[in-house]
């Protein structure tokens, strides 16, 4: 198995696609390297990687064009022949096992303040990933008495609203 890690920026908003009844998160990441040639000219080379995952579909609203991400997973290379130019190009694909948001564009929602059942405040990131160490399946509650739960992917999801 070939593993790859990549830090780069999204070229477009991530999309959730359905294939054979299963949802997949897809996005493209660009990594640009700058270097100086012997003649003193500066060159930029950009490598595009197509990323796919069935585990992180809930991150789709936060993966916006220009956002910086760290991805790691299984690497697949494919050769594509372009008849117009009579050349082969290599496609780089990563089946993501891990995705981290390194800098997202602001999301138009306000994050609720969340508490455990014991009344302990839980600090969260801007994408509802717990900063405070808590376990998968932990139930949380906000000041409006809405219930949340930590999913298998480590994302805090709204569970239900409690009626009083």
pLDDT value for 12: 93
Average pLDDT, the chain: 82
Question: Measuring CA to CA, which residue among 63, 53, 59 is closest to residue 26?
Answer: 53
In the chain the first and final C-alpha atoms are separated, in Å, by 53
11 CB-contact burial (10 Å; exposed 0-12 / middle 13-18 / buried 19+):
middle
Using a CB cutoff of 8 Å and minimum separation of 24, what contacts does 136-141 make? 140/114, 140/115, 140/116, 141/114, 141/115, 141/117
pLDDT in tens, 15-65: 999 989 999 999 999 988 898 999 989 999 888 999 999 988 888 988 999
Q: Is the dihedral of CA 111, 105, 101, 24 positive or negative?
A: positive
How do the domains of the chain map onto residue ranges? 3-103, 114-161
CATH architecture, domain defined by 3-103: Beta Barrel (2.40)
Q: Which residues 6+ apart lie within 8 Å of 103 measured at CB? A: 67, 68
Question: Whole-model pTM?
Answer: 0.59
- Of 26-30, 85-89, 115-119, which gets the smallest average pLDDT? 115-119
pLDDT of 112 higher than 80: no
Please tell me what DSSP assigns to residue 58: G
- Of 14-18, 66-70, 135-139, which gets the smallest average pLDDT? 135-139
pLDDT of 115 higher than 80: no
pLDDT value for 107: 47
pLDDT value for 72: 94
Sheet holding 139-142, edge to edge: 121-122, 114-116, 139-142, 146-150, 156-161
- Of 6-10, 11-15, 17-21, 142-146, which gets the smallest average pLDDT? 142-146
How confident is residue 108, by pLDDT bands cut at 50, 70 and 90?
very low
């Amino acid at each position: 198995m070939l593993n790859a890690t990549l830090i780069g920026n999204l070229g477009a908003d991530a999309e959730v696609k359905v294939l054979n009844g299963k949802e997949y998160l897809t996005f493209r990441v660009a990594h640009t390297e700058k270097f100086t040639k012997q003649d003193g000219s500066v060159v930029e080379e950009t490598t595009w990687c197509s990323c796919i995952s069935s585990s992180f579909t809930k991150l789709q609203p936060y993966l916006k064009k220009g956002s910086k991400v760290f991805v790691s997973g299984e690497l697949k290379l494919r050769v594509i022949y372009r008849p117009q130019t009579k050349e082969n190009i290599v496609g780089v694909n990563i089946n993501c096992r891990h995705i981290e948001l390194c800098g997202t564009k602001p999301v138009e929602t306000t994050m609720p303040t969340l508490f455990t059942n014991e009344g302990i405040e839980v600090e969260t990131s801007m994408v509802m990933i717990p900063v405070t160490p808590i376990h998968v399946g932990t139930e949380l509650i906000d000041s409006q008495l809405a219930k949340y739960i930590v999913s298998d992917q480590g994302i805090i999801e709204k569970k239900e609203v409690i009626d009083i």
